[in-house]
Amino acid sequence: MSTAAPYSPELESLGQSMHALVAELYPICRSITGDGVRETLQRLQRLIPLTVHEVPSGTQVFDWTVPREWNIRDAYVKNSRGERVIDFKKSNLHVLNYSVPVQMRMSLEQLKSHLFTVPDHPDWIPYRTSYYKEAWGFCLSHKQFLELSEDTYEVVIDASLKDGHLTYGELLLPGETADEILISCHVCHPSLANDNLSGVAVASFLARNLSNLPRRFSYRFLFIPGTIGAITWLALNESKAGNIKHGLVLAGVGDAGPLSYKKSRRGDTEIDRAAIHALGQLDSKANAFDFSPYGYDERQYCSPGFNLAVGRLSRTPHGTFPEYHTSADNMNFVHPNSLSESYSACQSLFSILERNRTYLNTNPKCEPQLGKRGLYRVIGGSADSGATELAMLWVLNLSDGEHSLLDIAERARIKFDSIYQVAIALQEHGLLTESLQHSSPNPQKASA
């Protein structure tokens, strides 16, 4: 198996561009609703033609209700000398996300029940939310907390929580067929770089690149607030869910850890297998793990009523690194090379799905005589000819209308690309024909 992805100046500059996008979006105070999400989507519209949807508060979405919209202008805790000892303007993580407005004076003792810290990492500010229970609070480093003295504090959260909208972004790139590949990422975290913005950056650049490529599949990109956004989309678009043949949630794809793929609930779908194959080619340390109903929006896409073939690409799994949901998930925690490798993994994965076909050997009784057709010469140089010959023998042997090229690549332990290349050559020589019953299950044209 290969180790790291080969160096490419294009990928390096792509990594830098994605990193720059993360940096641009990093200061915005996002939440599951509100102007932070709108501003984020507006900035993405400079890169890709996203449609922005606004769903009114109070809309019933399955067992949930679209919440009231939250916006924040300022928040602080001032001591009696008038100094801001906790200041939202310095970090938007300082406010418990979705805090109700507050303006009051109180003792340190009263204030303490509204303060959150991570004692194990005394310099970091935790990220905490209270979306569905009215509350208010401040998050601060444990060091800052220990410095607070007995005093009367002025506590202000200049926020609003009222009827408005839930905002999400969507982009459909139509392909030759109506069958869709879904790419979903969350856009609801404030200044956290890996958790939300890495996925946003990779999804945006994938969309931009795919819009210029020929596509068999249609690609649907969703930039949505976590949980409630996926539930809202599924509730309002239930009739479209059947078109989703493959899907990928992108979350935490910018840290230094190895690529990791979380399988769909079904566990053995084409995207699960294509992802494992693609990741294995890119990174010998890549790993795959089984579905569990804990994580990001794959929980909704893989709920039993939908049970879609949606997996998740991440690097170090969330919750297993100390920086998770703290101020240490910052611009230093995400790396251009990691972003570009994650991007490459998606690209190879989609490229396998685009090219995966099932063929029939037109000469199934004993092996065809390849030499007289000049097939060895047609394909590749001499150093590679043994491997190419082996790939051809596998493709000819397993092309019985029951095995796709991906099945063959897996069974032969040969790269999908090599299997695909020999299949095309064999097809050009009339030794294979496409078996339509197993290829594109829904070949009607997408309406343009």
Residues that bind Zn ion (CB under 5 A): 195
Mention every residue, 6+ apart, whose C-beta is less than 8 A from residue 226: 32, 186, 188, 189, 196, 296, 297
Least spacing, CB of residue 195 vs Zn ion, in Å? 4
Query: Smaller CB distance to Zn ion: residue 99 or 348?
Result: 99
Exposure of 181 in the CB half-sphere (CA atoms within 13 A): 29
Exposure of 107 in the CB half-sphere (CA atoms within 13 A): 3
Least spacing, CB of residue 39 vs Zn ion, in Å? 19
| Exposure string for 4-18, b = 16+ CB within 10 A, e = fewer | ebeeeeebeebbebb
Q: What is the Cα–Cα distance from 411 to 408, expressed in whole angstroms? A: 5
Helix, strand or coil, per DSSP, at residue 252: coil
Helix, strand or coil, per DSSP, at residue 352: helix
Query: Smaller CB distance to Zn ion: residue 155 or 200?
Result: 200
Mention every residue, 6+ apart, whose C-beta is less than 8 A from residue 386: none
What six digits make up the tokens of 198?
């890495």
Mention every residue, 6+ apart, whose C-beta is less than 8 A from residue 321: 255, 257
Mention every residue, 6+ apart, whose C-beta is less than 8 A from residue 98: 31, 32, 70, 129, 130, 131, 135, 161
Count H helices, E strands: the chain?
A: 13, 19
Query: Smaller CB distance to Zn ion: residue 69 or 195?
Result: 195
Nearest to residue 205, comparing CAs of 174, 250, 175? 250
**Contact (CB, 8 A) for 165 and 231:** no
Residue 407, judged by CB atoms within 10 A of its CB (0-12, 13-18, 19+), counts as: middle
Least spacing, CB of residue 315 vs Zn ion, in Å? 14
Least spacing, CB of residue 348 vs Zn ion, in Å? 26
Q: What one-character DSSP code corresponds to residue 28? A: S
| φ, ψ (nearest 5 deg) of residue 52 | -100, 125
Least spacing, CB of residue 324 vs Zn ion, in Å? 7
Query: Smaller CB distance to Zn ion: residue 222 or 375?
Result: 222
**Contact (CB, 8 A) for 52 and 169:** yes
Least spacing, CB of residue 317 vs Zn ion, in Å? 12
Query: Smaller CB distance to Zn ion: residue 125 or 405?
Result: 125
Query: Smaller CB distance to Zn ion: residue 32 or 370?
Result: 32
Query: Smaller CB distance to Zn ion: residue 108 or 331?
Result: 331
Q: What is the Cα–Cα distance from 374 to 425, expressed in whole angstroms? A: 11
Q: What one-character DSSP code corresponds to residue 42? A: H
Q: Which amino acid is at 346?
A: C
Query: Smaller CB distance to Zn ion: residue 269 or 342?
Result: 342
Query: Which residue sits closest to Zn ion, CB atoms considered?
Result: 195
Query: Smaller CB distance to Zn ion: residue 195 or 255?
Result: 195
Query: Smaller CB distance to Zn ion: residue 35 or 195?
Result: 195
Query: Smaller CB distance to Zn ion: residue 99 or 196?
Result: 196
Least spacing, CB of residue 189 vs Zn ion, in Å? 5
Least spacing, CB of residue 293 vs Zn ion, in Å? 16
Least spacing, CB of residue 427 vs Zn ion, in Å? 46
Least spacing, CB of residue 120 vs Zn ion, in Å? 18
Q: Which spans in 26-169 are helix H?
A: 35-45, 108-112, 142-146
Least spacing, CB of residue 252 vs Zn ion, in Å? 8
